[in-house]
Chains A and B, each alone.
Chain A
């Protein structure tokens, strides 16, 4: 079984802070991590391999520094790693990203593709399904459990009010929820080996024959960000700083009455 897991390197958004003066994002010093859902995807891929044999390839699209995320994936136990990186790929939206990643996956070959459900920086959850469409394979998203039965996968697909137990035959793409698997730690030996392994890099020339160059990068992206801004807090209400508990309760009850809550 050839399992490919797609990962994204993201800034740890919990660590992102706003500059109180300029009201802009402070990105310096914010650690880069493997996106949480994707890391669960790596773990699920490794567990699948332990059951059915085969290989796990980690794939990441990003700048050359994203190599760090792939080293971590190797240290967790992935067999090899591919970095998709080129100037031409920069500025891609989810549509264009999926075109590029799908082209890379065709070159790598796969039975099962696993992506995280969504990334914590963009929060779109779109790239997984869009890769599946480009590869013309079935997708099952929001996957919470994977079992193998003969030549089929039996997966638990989560919805808000129900779940489905779904049979799907490879080739297919699954998007992993964090609940799918708790990522293992890297081994010390794994870390050393990870830095000895070679990470293949796919640039534009490696993929240009299997994608439409008009459909990638900033120019090929159907959507464009035209402005970004920090949110304005809504107008401040009344703040009472020195009420006793009883006085506070009185003020609250008055408001509850005024708002017809009670």
Chain B
């Protein structure tokens, strides 16, 4: 019988992706409800020594597949490796980060083993599902995700096939505190790769390390919407962000207008962020935007329009002109810092 929750933890050049640890954190809650275990899955080349990290973040066990063919992500070798893991271990649930790797690998594998897959989930729960009154019920994974550009939410079940599979957006779940004293079993799963599994050839790998900071990693985000008036004002927002130890992000409108690069965009078609502080400057708060930032710990919104929907999700709302308030705020923060230095 299928059991346990498997989390496919992505690594690139041996570095564990944050979303993998977030999913392990979430999986520990689901595992408790199912009274089952959390198993981390590592696929790569020479990655065995990373297994301990997954245990320290909450995994009970780790299984790994190592092969030089898995050094860089290529669909077929990874799909073969993961299919082998699923065939051997028969998991109840398999979770992936909804990254450009997870969203390539998960559907390929779901189609191969014939099971359901729910994309880009923002909520996971274990609950009892009953087909009808007589049905004693069984525990299933309730997968909730936005659709129609974040306009509606849908809860999806995979009743009759195993494993139940889902991809989850980075930044939505929370990882646990690292506990170096945790222990667990680490096991290799051998996969017999053939040269023909490499059915495409990587000619070149270009790492874009200059690829600016990642807004999903920022503790503080100062975010600009149409209300900032000009692309130059992002410079002012950046000054504030630097003072607060954070970064700048943007609404879709400013990205579409070419005022901010695409990788700064928060929202349904951009990134999901959950910083400690999200400072929304001149952002009206379209539902697509809110979908990407409402998980922030604390939200401050400044907008001229007192009926702007951003105020519905803001913890602190200020009706006023960002172009006046932000420069004054920068001065005030500087003054505060000098006084408390």
Interface residues of A (CB under 8 A from B): 11, 13-14, 16, 18, 25, 93-95, 98, 120-130, 132-134, 138-142, 154, 158-168, 172, 215, 221-231, 233-234, 236-243, 245-246, 248-253, 255-257, 259, 261-262
Contacts and interface: CB of A to CB of B under 8 A. Distances in A.
Given A161-B12, A241-B319, A252-B318, A231 B100 contact: no
A132 B107 CA distance: 10
A20 B243 CA distance: 40
A228 B147 contact: yes
A259 B110 contact: no
Contacts of A161: 12, 207-209, 211
A31 to B, nearest CB: 14
Contacts, number: 258
A129 B108 contact: yes
23 contacts: A16-B148, A95-B110, A95-B114, A123-B119, A123-B149, A129-B75, A139-B104, A141-B75, A168-B201, A221-B116, A226-B156, A228-B155, A240-B316, A243-B320, A246-B328, A248-B318, A249-B328, A255-B316, A261-B220, A261-B276, A262-B244, A262-B337, A262-B340
Contacts of B153: 228-231
Interface in B153-179: 153-161
A240 B115 CA distance: 51
B178 to A, nearest CB: 21
Interface stretch (B25-33, B40-48, B227-235, B306-314): B306-314
Interface residues of B, number: 95
Main secondary structure of the interface of B (DSSP, over half): mixed
Contact of B99 (A140, A160, A167): A160
Contact of B319 (A140, A228, A239, A262): A239
A98 B116 CA distance: 12
Interface in B84-112: 99-101, 103-104, 106-108, 110-112
B204 interface: yes
Given A222-B158, A253-B329, A129 B104 contact: yes
Interface in B123-166: 129, 142, 146-161
Contacts of A252: 300, 316, 318, 325, 329, 332
Contacts of B314: 236-237, 239
B324 A245 contact: yes
A237 B328 contact: no
B247 to A, nearest CB: 13
Contacts of B158: 222-224
**Residue of B149, B154, B211, B288 contacting most chain A CB atoms (<10 Å):** B149
